[in-house]
Amino acid sequence: MIGLGVMGRNLLLNMADHGFAVVGFDKDAQKTGTLESSASPGTTVKGVNTLAEMIQLLETPRRIMMLVPAGQPVDDVIHDLLPVLEKGDIVIDGGNSHYTDTLRRVKFMQEKGFHFVGMGVSGGEKGARNGPSIMPGGDLEAYPHIKPMLEAVSAKVNGVPCVAYCGKDAAGHYVKMVHNGIEYAIMQLISETYDLLHRGLGLDNEELYKVYKNWNDGELSSFLVEITRDIFLKKDDKTSNYLVDMILDKAGAKGTGKWTSQDAMDLGIPVPTIDTAVNLRELSAYKDERTQASAIYKTPTADVPVPKEVFIQQLGDALFFAMIISYAQGLAQLAVASKELNMEIPMHDVVKIWRGGCIIRSTLLETFFKAYEKNPQLSNILLDGEIAQLLQAKKQNTRNVIIHAIHMGYPVAALMSTLSYFDAYRSERMPTNLIQAQRDYFGAHTYQRIDEPGTFHSEWEPK
Ligand code: 6PG
């Protein structure tokens, strides 16, 4: 393992716990020291401070994984490795690299006789230590050499490892990128429900804990709802307040959500809830302007027009509806990108390995798994009968919640975008005929007709 930050260290310790003898490299002697001192008794874990030492200790073909920040650091590691590698050695990038960088690196390394695997790893620090979801792609020749180790360390659902070969070239990193896009969408949706419960209904943190607990105990059971539940009970150690109330409302982002949106746009795939989630994180950064605007534009004082319990029930339904739509958008992106970028992503395996270990794991993944089992070529999960039934049951309450939120003046951009996506997707006829007419009017861009094939142009200006 190259890079012994907490993720690299934890994943390596996880491998050691599963009986693999491992070596961790970091120039920083303190990090190699921490690695060795945190190894479980009886495991073989060695920390080294030079690449030469590491290379000496590894069997061939060498399996060298790096967990370093995306971008230049990955190229730097490759550069340092080149002189010491032997033909057939396998280099694995387990970070959140942009898939186009991975594509370039796969080619570059192949030309030199080395294997390069772009691999998504999800689950944060704890996941890395106890069982992450792992999304390797690329070099099929290399996969058998790393498969046993990855299967051993990954999370398991019903005994099935949450790791599978995710497709050609940079597919592993593409799948992880879209995973993170969905992660952004769900996090934004949960934050909107929090806003409505907290500012809208006036619930305090202990009441919020109870709502998210109930949700997580039911059909909304998921990692992100579960951690949200626990966040509300965490006390600040600097004041006597709850920690969540002491956190500045500006969201950070390392880029994977934005990349998902950017790439979806390039490929012509609509993922409006992911786009919205990226936008709202961006808007959160304008704290000073928001403060000024809040003094000018007051929030309406309308109350929720239904009893508290009813509203909470409606809100849970809306979150459930919107979560499904978020997965639907991300999975639809994967299905199209797989074809367009010739990655051969096995959709059925992707939802299988997202069932455990990763940040977007939820009981819904089991339903999606069944949908792809029935039809591996499913273009959009909204077309599956069982999923359609789930959405049908929740769509009215999604509308109700959005109407209440609009009256109360609280932003629910992600909820609204899921509903609009749903309403447009289920429209046999969209108002896009008018857009075509306008384009033809001002730019002679032509249009197609509903009653005969061909391309047409009309003179639109009134005589
Ligand atoms: C995961 C996470 C992980 C990381 C995010 C954070 O699957 O384990 O997605 O990869 O925590 O990239 O992303 P932002 O900093 O962009 O929110």
Q: How far apart are CA 150 and CA 135, in angstroms?
A: 10
Q: Which are the contacts of 354, defined by CB distance < 8 A and separation ≥ 6?
A: 133, 162, 179, 360, 361, 365
pLDDT in tens, 311-325: 999 999 999 999 999
Answer whether 123 contacts ligand 1 (Cβ < 6 A): yes
Answer whether 407 contacts ligand 1 (Cβ < 6 A): no
Average the pLDDT over 277-299 and give the result: 96
Report field, pTM of the whole predicted structure over 0.85? yes
Site to substitute for ligand 1 among 182, 187, 254, 360, most atoms within 8 A of C-beta: 254
Q: Which atom of ligand 1 is nearest to the CA of 123?
A: 8
Indicate whether 358 pLDDT > 90: yes
183 counts as catalytic? yes
Catalytic residue among 112, 141, 151, 176: 176
Please give the single-letter amino acid code of residue 333. Q
Site to substitute for ligand 1 among 183, 224, 262, 360, most atoms within 8 A of C-beta: 183
The rounded percent of the chain whose pLDDT value lies above 90 is 98
pLDDT in tens, 127-175: 999 999 999 999 899 999 999 999 999 999 999 999 999 999 999 999 9
pLDDT in tens, 94-129: 999 999 999 999 999 999 999 999 999 999 999 999
Indicate whether 195 pLDDT > 90: yes
Catalytic residue among 31, 53, 168, 183: 183
pLDDT of residue 305: 87
pLDDT of residue 139: 85
Nearest to 92 by CA among 153, 147, 34: 147
pLDDT in tens, 177-194: 999 999 999 999 999 999
Indicate whether 299 pLDDT > 90: no
Measured in angstroms, how far is the CA atom of residue 271 from the centroid of ligand 1? Answer: 19
Answer whether 269 contacts ligand 1 (Cβ < 6 A): no
pLDDT of residue 303: 85
Instruction: Judge contact between 368 and 192, C-beta under 8 A.
Output: no
pLDDT in tens, 359-389: 999 999 999 999 999 999 999 999 999 999 9
Indicate whether 288 pLDDT > 90: yes
**Residue the block writes with tokens 């490929």:** 267
210 counts as catalytic? no
Q: Which are the contacts of 102, defined by CB distance < 8 A and separation ≥ 6?
A: 93, 116, 118, 138, 169, 170, 172, 173
Q: Which atom of ligand 1 is nearest to the CA of 254?
A: 16
Indicate whether 302 pLDDT > 90: no
pLDDT in tens, 262-286: 999 999 999 999 999 999 999 999 9
SS in 3 state form for the chain? CECCCHHHHHHHHHHHHCCCCEEEECCCHHHHHHHHHCCCCCCCEEEECCHHHHHHHCCCCCEEEECCCCCHHHHHHHHHHHHHCCCCCEEEECCCCCHHHHHHHHHHHHHCCCEEEEEEEECHHHHHHHCCEEEECCCCCCHHHHHHHHHHHCCEECCEECECCCCCCCHHHHHHHHHHHHHHHHHHHHHHHHHHHHHHCCCCHHHHHHHHHHHHHCCCCEHHHHHHHHHCCCECCCCCCEHHHHCCCCCCCCCHHHHHHHHHHHHCCCCHHHHHHHHHHHHHCCHHHHHHHHHHCCCCCCCCCCCHHHHHHHHHHHHHHHHHHHHHHHHHHHHHHHHHCCCCCCHHHHHHHCCCCCCCCECHHHHHHHHHHHCCCCCCHHHCHHHHHHHHHHHHHHHHHHHHHHHHCCCCHHHHHHHHHHHHHCCCCCCHHHHHHHHHHHHCCCECCCCCCCCECCCCCCC
- What CATH topology corresponds to 176-425? N-(1-d-carboxylethyl)-l-norvaline Dehydrogenase; domain 2 (1.10.1040)
pLDDT of residue 386: 98
pLDDT in tens, 383-441: 999 999 999 999 999 999 999 999 999 999 999 999 999 999 999 999 999 999 999 99
The domain segmentation of the chain, as residue ranges, is: 6-165, 176-425
pLDDT in tens, 56-100: 999 999 999 999 999 999 999 999 999 999 999 999 999 999 999
Q: What is the CATH number of domain 6-165?
A: 3.40.50.720
pLDDT of residue 300: 80
Answer whether 128 contacts ligand 1 (Cβ < 6 A): no
Comparing 327 with 300, the larger pLDDT belongs to 327
